[in-house]
Structure 1
């Protein structure tokens, strides 16, 4: 186990320079399969840099599939055989970002620096090399992916699911209409404020929408009977509120008494500040559909979602979809199955660490003489109320290259003075300048 020597410069953060140097040694065969890396503390002392810098560098290597870790033993090199024809890897950013706002405080995308590009490339190469992707996948999804999903749900979220009840799909666009048809829903309750895409999909199916306001415990209980309730209980979009246990019980009781169904969208459940220790709605009732997407945790273009069916409806669903093809390619499903079973959890932890740093930096730099922080439970956004709203504020923000969301845009009456400061997309090095500019505008 040799200690690395590197001459740092000022072109990139030291963690990125170190990660690239180690990656280069792996690509060139200087570090071989199962070689042990120096301990974090020993390497920090040797290089004369902070322990946090070493941790960040190792997390980058973990997320990109260069190394793996064994508890209490250290960090080790993955097989680099598939990298021999690969050019030098840059952890900065190889993909050019489309032209747009300089400071994007939106939550619709993720920081391109955090996408596990190399880890996915490695797994794609493995899948293609094995030639096991020529068979036709079952309409409900590849069995290896469905089993990996069940294991992930059990280990991380305590949800017991049967692979027979897992439906792999390309997103809520296809899953929601399927659910509406399956249970013959005519009235659907949705959150207000809420995810506008859900409203658009339901309008497309010509079903009646009932808007349910959000309070401090989550979605309010409908006063009249509805066939279906859509909710995001772990991190309500856009407010980030986590549903209380009391409200969960009220919602389940309502569904049981009215023979209604619930869609539990696990939106951003991997990124809530409060730990995942409460029961999922799916675990509490046989009237719940559970939906989750990987586009947020991996990449926006990675369009793979899944649904857990209420077991009592699985047979009916399969009968309705007999002869259908799965919308997700077999290759993508096999890659995701391998990724979940290998480095997905390390990647999630890396994302959480990065998002936590961004959140802390925003709170540190936000002028609390100008804003009240209202909701702060999500890893992806902070909800604030300006103490003085400025006329034509959207135009002023756009003129200053700031892209930000207003809660009014997610409400049916478009009335709200709240602002959502998201930080999933903006890079860490732009936050201080972006928040300083935001403060300056609201002092106007």
Structure 2
């Protein structure tokens, strides 16, 4: 990019929706850190901002495309701590300005989730040594099909991107973002649902849900049936609230033709009242019907799409979209059936396999996202956890007003717990304290990060 030039489409919602590369030189010698702002002033004078990055170390003079450095503030599109791509809804050129600030001290912005444009500019007003700006323009061709559906013959036709976006919008979960390129719609979230979670579990693995920022689930815009089903030792799709969907098992890839109750997370008591739990990465996901999510949706009905398989086919509830009951034997091995609108659709069910068991469509498993375990666990405190034999009693998960999360439970007459709260030392880090059965009841502490 050059000042006065164009913003490449790959950094917008019509492309890959990733942050662009930026570099600089000539900062004052007294610089201790940098802050970066990308914003746009609308014709009505209202400011929009897409990228706030601060506490960038003074020794840094470049950020690669998609790279995470420093601490991310909010954006004005969805309020999340992430880069969000410009996605203008009106015609004509739109100007976007990148401004880099060389600072003499660290900006005191407090909670990063409240670090908006005005907060940043106020915090750095008296500590800015120098600044430099670069302004670029982007024009969306609103009459073209950029960023929408890729049809089965390889041509781009409008529809799929909008349908996926509409399914998320209709769900009412405003903290979920949909962006599209020529091949995929990306449902991006922190995987942490607004509904009650973890309560009702007896077979706990002693993991606790921790937000996983910028989890981007790729949904194919032009689904095509594959020659054989695909089973994955990870998520097979995503719910419209941005929570990943797994098959019923906790044992990796399935023998999809032979149900195994010994690996059924529901039978083993590992799922909460809402059909989900925290996995090995302290990440929340569903293994059965996301009933609490469905209950929270404002316009829930039998024809409401509640999720998407990674192969591009939609997920519905226990009934057919027209409200009729699904007859025994109508669902195939992946828990779906043919559909006149999409070619195929998945369903949830009361009986195993409960939800998407495998993918009938073509899918590139190499690009599918996975939530990694928390960083900084040098002692293995969060890595060496296994379900206590025989299960636990009285498990309770509580979210405190101070942002803390606490999961407590009883095992053989003793109380155990895992609790964490956002760390003040760095963004996306959490201060943990735990007393687990797996680790012999020792009280352990540590700060772990995403």
TM-score in same-fold range (> 0.5): no
Q: TM-score scaled to structure 2, two decimals?
A: 0.28
| Bigger relative CO (Cα 8 Å, ≥ 6 apart) | 1
Point out the structure with the larger strand share. Answer: 2
